[in-house]
A and B are shown apart, each in its own frame.
Chain A
């Protein structure tokens, strides 16, 4: 019973973080058709923004949303600087990988210059600890497990129930036709990046609340998000969400039974096997489209 509870809780918790990161990657991929390798840096930058705002005396309830907005703004700017000018290039995917990597390295080193290498920590969403059965958990972790589905649900509603969300889904499917119904394609590209960056910032706030922050804290979550989207298929955003939780549970179970050392290797082995059987991910359909 204890094992099950531990795996369940660990899986939900990790899955929430992965989903938060992966959805942003998938959103940018589906709308623009590029992979944003500075996504992990958005997460780190968002956590630092939040830390700075709390540091100047803002209540977290004000600081966190402001940090999300600021990171979303950076996402928009980054898109305008290193993605939009390249649209239409023959090797767009590859060139954007390198420009977003370079932009990420620029931000990472900038953060190191501004905030220094010393580890920092954010206040948790909710203070305190509790027991679930026999295992002790922090309320911060429980808050993450509860808040993440709400935010992802809100994103889902936005994409499927609003005209702006509809426009984003349309751009993902056919750019020419989107222009011909009068959509502002460049603004929608910016919006996709901004939303993705905002979600990454939230993930950063979640992580900064229970682990020390550092300028390289985004590297590992980016990697995990990449695995999640490969696993779930990048042609939708619901696929990566399911995959995020699935991988969360897989990791929790692996580290329970085989230990932490072997978990990443097992995960990659399963990933590569999955792709040999289903090259486009386990939850994907053909074609590219949001929702």
Chain B
């Protein structure tokens, strides 16, 4: 199986600050991929580069055989690579229904709008009840569901989730994790950034520890790894300082 996403020697940052330093990885050869690592070390920046929000200074990104480096976010969405950003602010003054039609804005997603809407409703019956409500009136978990639902409306061929469970209450979090697992079972490959290692281990067979703007460790499928070892990776990195 060829990787759906290949990142080759990406260097990127903001202004004079370099966040990603010659980072290379590939995803999708063995199903879902998880990224973890301390905050502020480049996970979100990597996702912004992949989805076209941030132009890399060097390197190449290949999505399903097509070079997408430097393409606009719109073109990348058009190719089917959908990124759900961190935080759940999306469109505070639009209704859920509005968000869903926006999700189906690209020409690729338009023909599948009805079918995808049914999928979203089945997956998140909670937000279906509040279809005409503004996003700002929803709870954090519901807003995250709207974010993911909007992304599903874009008919993803690869779905990237940036810390989907951040800041959620444990019960809501479990619910959302179950939904994410459902999406994966439905056949959409995922790239997930998470701090919850248990959830990542359940969801993914391949993990990358991202530290100092580069891949510190790759955990390949079949390599058994215990929670404790991952924790020691965190601490090991921290002791360097």
Contacts and interface: CB of A to CB of B under 8 A. Distances in A.
A129 interface: no
B92 interface: yes
Contact of A170 (B53, B74, B94, B109): B94
Nearest to A173: B91
Contacts of B109: 182
Interface in B15-36: none
Contacts of A176: 53, 85
A177 B85 contact: yes
Interface string B90-127: 11111000100111011001000000000000000000
B136 to A, nearest CB: 8
B51 interface: yes
Interface residues on B, range: 20 to 34
Interface stretch (A37-45, A161-169, A196-204): A161-169
Contacts of B84: 180
B154 A174 contact: no
A10 interface: no
A256 to B, nearest CB: 39
A183 B72 CA distance: 10
B93 A184 contact: no
A166 B94 contact: yes
Contacts of A287: 92-93, 136
Nearest to A164: B105
B90 A163 contact: no
B59 interface: no
B91 A180 contact: no
B148 interface: no
Interface in B27-64: 51-53
Interface residues of A, number: 19
B94 A180 contact: no
Interface in B115-144: 136
Interface stretch (B3-11, B75-83, B180-188, B194-202): B75-83
Contacts of B90: 174, 177
B150 interface: yes
Nearest to B150: A181
A248 interface: no
A192 B72 CA distance: 20
A184 B89 contact: no
A179 interface: yes
A15 interface: no
A180 B53 contact: yes
A166 B91 CA distance: 11
B89 A166 contact: no
Contacts of B190: none
A215 interface: no
A177 B91 contact: yes
Given A169-B94, A173-B94, A180 B73 contact: yes
Given A163-B101, A176-B85, A177-B85, A182 B106 contact: yes
A174 B73 CA distance: 14
Given A173-B93, A174-B91, A179 B52 contact: yes
A281 interface: no
Contacts of B82: 180
Given A166-B98, A176-B53, A176-B85, A183 B105 contact: yes
Contacts of B102: 166-167, 170, 178, 181, 183
Given A163-B105, A166-B101, A166-B102, A179 B94 contact: no
B225 to A, nearest CB: 32
Contact of A174 (B78, B89, B103): B89
Contacts of B151: 180
A222 to B, nearest CB: 28
A289 interface: yes
B83 A289 contact: no
A126 B203 CA distance: 70
A181 B108 CA distance: 12
B103 A181 contact: yes
B101 A182 contact: no
A263 to B, nearest CB: 36
Contacts of B98: 166, 169-170
Contacts of A163: 101, 105
A180 B85 contact: yes
Contacts of A181: 77, 102-103, 105-106, 150, 154
A178 to B, nearest CB: 8
Nearest to B77: A182
Given A181-B150, A289-B93, 5 more contacts: A163-B105, A174-B92, A177-B89, A179-B77, A180-B82
26 contacts: A163-B101, A167-B102, A167-B105, A170-B94, A170-B98, A173-B92, A174-B89, A174-B90, A176-B53, A177-B89, A177-B90, A179-B52, A179-B53, A179-B77, A180-B77, A180-B85, A180-B151, A181-B105, A182-B73, A182-B77, A182-B78, A182-B106, A184-B74, A287-B92, A287-B93, A291-B93
